[in-house]
Amino acid sequence: MNSPVVVRQAEQPPADAVVALEKYGVSTVHEAQGRCGLLAPYMRPIFSGATIAGPAVTVSVPPGDNLMIHVAVEVCRPGSILVVVPTSPCTDGYFGELLATSLRAYGVKGLVIDAGCRDVKSLTEMKFPVWSRAISSQGTVKATLGSVNVGVVCAGAFIEAGDVIVADDDGVIVVKRAVAQQVAAASEQRVRKEEATRERLARGELGLDIYGLRAKIKELGLEYL
């Protein structure tokens, strides 16, 4: 049963895995972990060029009410990424420059919010990265409780406190804490393999040959006219 709660402590992922995942970026990590964990593509960065990774502090909020974001700041730690999800679809501007100032004072790396964000000009100047579903000035109240560090579904992905969030220009992905190390290693392998492939493709070799697809398309019965 669902009642408002704040979980102060969440198990954290290995620090080196976080560093590695930030380096590889969303698309590589997505492939490396078996094509799962991606948030819906409507989650877009408010400015381009930022790449961040860090353990999630999750916040479940009522529609149009940002009281719990204020509660959540206190349980963030340096390197955290705040993940905010309304309990029903909402585009209100829960978050702006003042909250970013507060999060930055606590070392939080950025925000992922399945709702709206405002003060985008100031946030861009501050270089505080946000991935959101909307940009909206619509203000929120501080009247109703929600929960911090419980499991949430954000833009179609299930996220628990301490899971690793990776976000860049391609979008946002969650890597479960327990496999973060393993996914980081698989990402490294994938990057190496892609480097070799890139060179061959640049020289004019075809993916059909590099990936050995000619036999497959023949077997599947593709007809050339």
CB of 126 to its own copies, least distance (A): 11
CA proximity to 110, closest of 91, 95, 88: 95
CB of 142 to its own copies, least distance (A): 6
- 57 makes contact with its own copies (CB under 8 A): no
C-beta closer to its own copies: residue 12 or 144: 144
Name the token pair of 159.
């996220």
CB of 103 to its own copies, least distance (A): 9
* From 17, 65, 82, 111, residue interacting with its own copies (rule: CB under 8 A): 65
Cα separation of 59 and 87, whole Å? 10
CA proximity to 48, closest of 137, 170, 175: 170
Residue type, 168: D
- Paired with 132 in beta bridges are 44, 113
Q: Which of residues 134-163 bind its own copies (CB under 8 A)?
A: 134-139, 141-145, 151, 153, 156-158
CB of 165 to its own copies, least distance (A): 14
* From 27, 79, 190, 191, residue interacting with its own copies (rule: CB under 8 A): 27
Name the token pair of 186.
């698989």
Give yes or no for a contact between 157 and 175, defined as CB atoms under 8 angstroms apart.
no
